[in-house]
Amino acid sequence: MSIIRNYLVLSAAIIFAAGIAYGAEKPSEYIGQGQCKVCHNKKTTGAQWAVWKEMKHAHAFDALKSDEAKEMAKELGLTKPPHEEPQCVKCHVTGYDLEKMTVPAKIKLADSVQCETCHGPGSAHKEDGRAVMFKKKTADEVDWMANLVEVEESICLKCHNEESPAWNPEQFTLEDGTKVGFDFKHAAKIIAHPDPTHEK
């Protein structure tokens, strides 16, 4: 009896797994900031790449090579140079995997905190962009958010928290005067890179 039941459960599992394999789309993968630059660096639509390149996020990996960084690491009793120390690198680059101690294949450490940190892995979105570029679709026909991540405060808080040795709990002042270490509204304004052709 139990053999038959196990057999049934097993075959159901195999059919289910095959259904996933046939039905599923390929998950989006990291492609790197250089790919985003190809389509997002026109002045008329906001030159998001150039704006990002001027921000501290774009240089966050290099910041780990400063004397200040070395001092911070020493104080925490870390022995490796900060730019080789997983406990520092994880928040200063894109997509760091603490278990494998590495970044995805198409990401360079020097890319620092780049586009896909906030917008999610971009390979599927790039295909959306190419469909428009090669006139297979119009921009209006594409659901642009289908293959991108909605940028929410929770994404920022993965790095902007008291685990950061540079954390200043009084960095931002809320409207009621309260001081906080991170304020999404205020911080998002500082790093803003809007497309001026999009309506608010």
Positions in the binding site for ligand HEC (CB under 6 A): 31, 33, 35-36, 38-40, 48-49, 52, 55-57, 59-60, 63-64, 66, 68-69, 72-73, 76, 78, 82, 85, 87-88, 90-92, 113-119, 122, 125-126, 129-130, 132-133, 139, 144, 148, 151, 155-156, 158-161, 163-167, 171, 187-188, 190-191, 193-195, 198
Report yes or no: 122 and 145 within 8 Å, Cβ to Cβ: no
Q: How far is the CB of 2 from ligand HEC (least distance, A)?
A: 50
Of 11 and 168, which has the nearer Cβ to ligand HEC? 168
Of 2 and 138, which has the nearer Cβ to ligand HEC? 138
The token duo for 95 is 């997509």
Of 6 and 161, which has the nearer Cβ to ligand HEC? 161
Residue of 187, 45, 28, 180 lying closest to 113 (CA atoms): 187
In this structure, the dihedral spanned by the alpha carbons of residues 91, 97, 99 and 105, taken in order and rounded to 10 degrees, is -140
Of 18 and 166, which has the nearer Cβ to ligand HEC? 166
Q: In whole angstroms, what is the distance from residue 64 CA to residue 93 CA?
A: 10
The token duo for 124 is 């599927």
User: 89: how many CB neighbours lie within 10 A of its CB?
Assistant: 21
Residue of 106, 131, 127 lying closest to 114 (CA atoms): 106
Q: How far is the CB of 60 from ligand HEC (least distance, A)?
A: 4
Q: How far is the CB of 20 from ligand HEC (least distance, A)?
A: 26
Q: How far is the CB of 157 from ligand HEC (least distance, A)?
A: 8
Q: How far is the CB of 101 from ligand HEC (least distance, A)?
A: 14
User: 139: how many CB neighbours lie within 10 A of its CB?
Assistant: 10
Of 7 and 167, which has the nearer Cβ to ligand HEC? 167
Q: In whole angstroms, what is the distance from residue 196 CA to residue 182 CA?
A: 26
